[in-house]
Structure 1
Amino acid sequence: MNSVAAEYHARPWRVFAATSVGVVAVFLGISGLTVALPTVTRELNASAAQSTWILLGYMLITTALILVFGRLADLVGRRPLYLGGLAAFTAATGLCALAPSAGWLIVFRMLQGVGAAAVVTNNTALLTDVFAPHDLGRALGWNATVAAVAQVAGPVVGGAATSVLGWRGLFLVCLPIGLLALVSSVLVIPARHGRRGSETFDLAGSVLSAAVLTAVVLALTPAATRVPGLPWLPWLFVVAAAVSAAAFVAVQARRRHPLVDLRLFRNRGIALVFVAVVINAVATYAVTLLVSLYGQVVSGISAAAAGVLVVPVAVGTVVAAAAAGSLVPRYSPRALTATGMSLCAFGLLGLTVTLSDTGAAPASTAPFLFLLGCGVGLFMTPSTSALMLAAPAARRGIANGLRSALQNVGYLLSTALVLTVVTAGLGDGARRAAYSGTLGALGPAESARFAGNLRVAGLVLTAVVAVGVVVCLAFPRGPAVPDPADRPLETLSS
């Protein structure tokens, strides 16, 4: 083992600690704004479409660039791209705090998304580099746990910061966290030398993957792209998404060095994990947004109180993820992931039932949100471990990078889906009032319609996660076991 490799393997948990701070900064930035959105909308006088893109712009850019930056990292090195991403994210965070208008905030949020994509992609790849194979699954499981906890803690931090410092306070809180992540990463992540000079960057695949995601988001959020006289525009985006997806698959199949290694999907177990990851993300991610809108728009509570409402999700996630670590060696991924998805389904159904037209007793959502968090935590660890063990050693970094990308696709689709459902049937004025938390001023009829839409969104998410239970039950029956590193990907058992 050369000196660089020895240095890496001597300090894996220090690298984990440093990159975890980066994960916290990124996920606070993405989820913390959900509870601050009404305040942002009011103070910046944002339109309904602008409010939508304040959330979706960041997520779309991040998701579209994850695979691109993952490929670039293989070519130019992970450390410089990761550190560059942290620097860009931190600088954009400061700009967000200074944004003079909704339009500029959207631009700065998209710049944040560029940096976040480099962080998210290289975070898992750096861990794959530094951890020994027998510790990799555990490290990635904890990494996913840190991301999940930061994601659900974001609304708490965002709500508290907004109540005390205004909406800009969220970015002021994230700024020193980003700086800490940058400094610690510079200190503990050593440079690695050498690059794969024979490999090329898949520009066509990168453009097509971004086109697919953009078209899907535009198709799912017609309110954000509404053009008078063009009611068929969302269907045009559906067609564009389908054509782009077909072209992407065709291009990847012919590339010697593709953006996405489609051979991974030939393994039935790996393919099912990918599908389950997307479904779980779609069904659970936007629950925070759903609860925040219910609390602030229907119940009329403050941003800080809305943030506290989702604390049970974080608690449940931590408890279940910690327990799952000891359960993974004893039970099959099929049993654990299906149980986790089932808990999510019961939590979502119970949450939906508690949402009333008057917003009465929002605290009654707590037990169901805790159940949902337990489901997420119980699903997350065994699914990640199963993927890492099923993938060949030489493909584990690629497999986990693709898992991260697909999870972010789920986050993006979840947000777009919920925003579309909860504002369905509302006029432009009512949609803006809903985003700003002032819908009650328009009368009880509009509030009741919005509350009904929230329940419909909850039922839609419940139906999505029910499909996820079926997918998990299709997992291979036996325990997850590693495939030999020298075994060709095409011959992996299904």
Structure 2
Amino acid sequence: MIDKQSPYKHRKSVLIIIFLSSFLTAFSVYTTVISAKNIGMELGMDAATISWVSLIFILAAAMFLIPFGKIADLYGRKKIFLTGVVVFTVSSVLLAFVDSTGAFIAFRFVQGLGAALIYATGNAILTASFPPTQRGKVIGINVTGVYIGLTLSPLLGGIMTQNFGWRSQFWFNIPFGVLITLLVLLKMKGEWTSEKREKFDYIGSAIYALFLFSLIYGLSLFPNIIGFVFILISVNGVIIFILWEKRITYPMLDLNLFKNNRYLLFSCLVSIFFYVSTIALALLLSLYMQYLLDMSPQEAGYILLIQPLFQAIFSPIAGRLSDKVEAKKMVSVGLIIVLIGIAPLLFIGSGFPIYLIAISSAILGLGTAFFSSPNIRAIMSSIPKSSLGIAASLEGTMRTIGQTFSFGMLTIVFAVIIGNVAITPPYYPQFITSARVICILFLILTFISLIFSIFRGKREIEGKEK
């Protein structure tokens, strides 16, 4: 496969466009973390359903990232990216008008589809537009866009929710979506695609989406018997998917990419376990501060601002270092820092000091900054350039699968310990128990991620690239 786009042209415009899209999608995910209580109260959601406010978005992205990455390699990454921006923007308009839980979940799913189209192409376009010696730096800059979105989302999300209602956060997305669309049409010249035409694996894509949805939906119903049925469907789906992908000539996901490539396999596992163990902490702490400490969305937003602020500050530094320092060393250091950040939260209770939440958030932000850029670079550099769309979607899929399971674990623990009831004062002790169980599980999973990082081996692909 040969990239039709001339290497390294229009790189500044490309970086600006991808940066803005990363900011927008990150901002949209985490404004709902701060507004989840208000959305749930207005639309009549119980404790378990509230977690679906963020979960359904990430689940949609996880289900379709790899299929969209393959489509982008075949038909053009710019086309897929632009489609994603349009879908994301239109769904934001629809979300601003919903008046029921069902409509909210449905349009939030569509918004996640738009995000999947963006995720599947953003890093692939960046990687194709810059030489290998600059990729760590530009990925670090792009990750900064993500963390600026994460930084502003609790702050602006809290202000908008408190003063203008939760719907205002979706109106906020619209001008950015229009701006990015215009920039793509006017400034992103050429196309990134492949000259070799392959058939798209529709069956494999359908099986993949089905087993992933069945797994997450089944876990959300746990311990109900229907949940076990969906989990069983998912396990069978995984087996069928693997057998199908090995059988066909042009698979959706070439499993040979992992063959004799422990570096790629372990980098993906590191990503999954890391995001499982960190992403839902923001929602957990947001609910804790607003329910048990009776803080307003704006006040909780100030505290939640700390982690992404540290991430935004240190991500460019980590990106530059990843061009010089071996990725597994930087990622491992980041994971150790994250372990230190989670540890104080094991003792969360009704009188837990706000300053400890702030300190833990700062430490988590620092650790995440040292994790993200180097691990993205590790995955992107472990796959041949002809498959950059798949590489970008694979990295994004590992991240979104981890995020999905993170919110899924939150849903399961809430459902088992609190039950399908609203979070009210009589259930605050159960909420505290849930929070401690979740933090223990997240600490264990972060340690597992650290083990995979240490033993991932050495990178092979990028050293061959000129």
Bucket of the pairwise TM-score, normalised by the shorter protein: over 0.9
Is 1:345 the counterpart of 2:344? The answer is no
Unaligned segments of structure 1, at least 5 residues: 487-494
Amino acid at match of 2:205: S
**1:331/1:479 contact within 8 Å kept:** no
Q: 1:328 to 1:116 in 2, by over 3 A?
A: closer
What is the correspondence of 1:116-131 to structure 2 with a 5 Å cutoff?
A: 116-131=115-130
Match of 1:463 among 434, 444, 448: 444
Cα offset, 1:189, TM superposition: 1.4
Cα offset, 1:326, TM superposition: 4.2
Take 1:157 and 1:185, find their aligned partners in 2: how far apart are those partners? 26
**2:133/2:323 contact within 8 Å kept:** no
Amino acid at match of 1:471: F
Equivalent residue, structure 2, for 1:264 = 257
Take 2:356 and 2:246, find their aligned partners in 1: how far apart are those partners? 51
Q: What secondary structure, in the 3-state scheme, does the structure 2 residue paired with 1:9 have?
A: coil
Match of 2:380 among 388, 392, 396: 388
Equivalent residue, structure 1, for 2:233 = 240
Q: Deviations over 1:216-258 (max 9, x none)?
A: 20232126xx8xxxx3222222221211111111111122221
Cα offset, 1:122, TM superposition: 1.6
Take 2:459 and 2:310, find their aligned partners in 1: how far apart are those partners? 25
Cα offset, 1:261, TM superposition: 1.8
Equivalent residue, structure 1, for 2:162 = 163
**1:286/1:415 contact within 8 Å kept:** yes
**2:155/2:298 contact within 8 Å kept:** yes
**1:50/1:103 contact within 8 Å kept:** no
Amino acid at match of 1:39: N
Q: Deviations over 1:354-392 (max 9, x none)?
A: x2124x432321111111111111111222223333333
Q: What secondary structure, in the 3-state scheme, does the structure 2 residue paired with 1:284 have?
A: coil
Q: 1:102 to 1:482 in 2, by over 3 A?
A: same
**1:74/1:196 contact within 8 Å kept:** no
Between 1:196-205 and 1:29-38, the stretch displaced more is: 196-205
Cα offset, 1:450, TM superposition: 0.8
Is 1:483 the counterpart of 2:451? The answer is no
Equivalent residue, structure 1, for 2:184 = 185
What is the correspondence of 1:349-428 to structure 2 with a 5 Å cutoff?
A: 349-353=343-347, 355-358=348-351, 360-428=352-420
**1:423/1:450 contact within 8 Å kept:** no
Amino acid at match of 2:286: S
Match of 2:307 among 313, 317, 320: 313
Equivalent residue, structure 2, for 1:78 = 77
Equivalent residue, structure 2, for 1:294 = 288
Q: 1:382 to 1:52 in 2, by over 3 A?
A: closer
**2:143/2:315 contact within 8 Å kept:** no
Take 2:336 and 2:64, find their aligned partners in 1: how far apart are those partners? 32
Take 1:387 and 1:126, find their aligned partners in 2: how far apart are those partners? 15
Unaligned segments of structure 2, at least 5 residues: none
Give the TM-score, by structure 2 length. Answer: 0.93
Q: 1:194 to 1:244 in 2, by over 3 A?
A: closer
**2:122/2:392 contact within 8 Å kept:** no
**1:318/1:377 contact within 8 Å kept:** yes
Take 1:333 and 1:233, find their aligned partners in 2: how far apart are those partners? 42
Q: 1:330 to 1:58 in 2, by over 3 A?
A: closer
Equivalences, count: 463
Take 1:301 and 1:388, find their aligned partners in 2: how far apart are those partners? 41
Q: Deviations over 1:27-78 (max 9, x none)?
A: 2111110110110111222345543433322222121111111111222222
Q: 1:293 to 1:222 in 2, by over 3 A?
A: same
Q: 1:250 to 1:105 in 2, by over 3 A?
A: same
Amino acid at match of 1:382: P
Take 1:161 and 1:382, find their aligned partners in 2: how far apart are those partners? 34
Cα offset, 1:193, TM superposition: 8.1
Equivalent residue, structure 1, for 2:30 = 31
Is 1:283 the counterpart of 2:282? The answer is no
Equivalent residue, structure 1, for 2:245 = 252
Give the TM-score, by structure 1 length. Answer: 0.88
Is 1:92 the counterpart of 2:91? The answer is yes
Equivalent residue, structure 1, for 2:142 = 143
Please give the root-mean-square deviation of Cα atoms over the aligned residues, in Å: 2.3
| Greater length-normalized contact order (CA 8 Å, ≥ 6 residues apart) | 2
Amino acid at match of 2:371: F
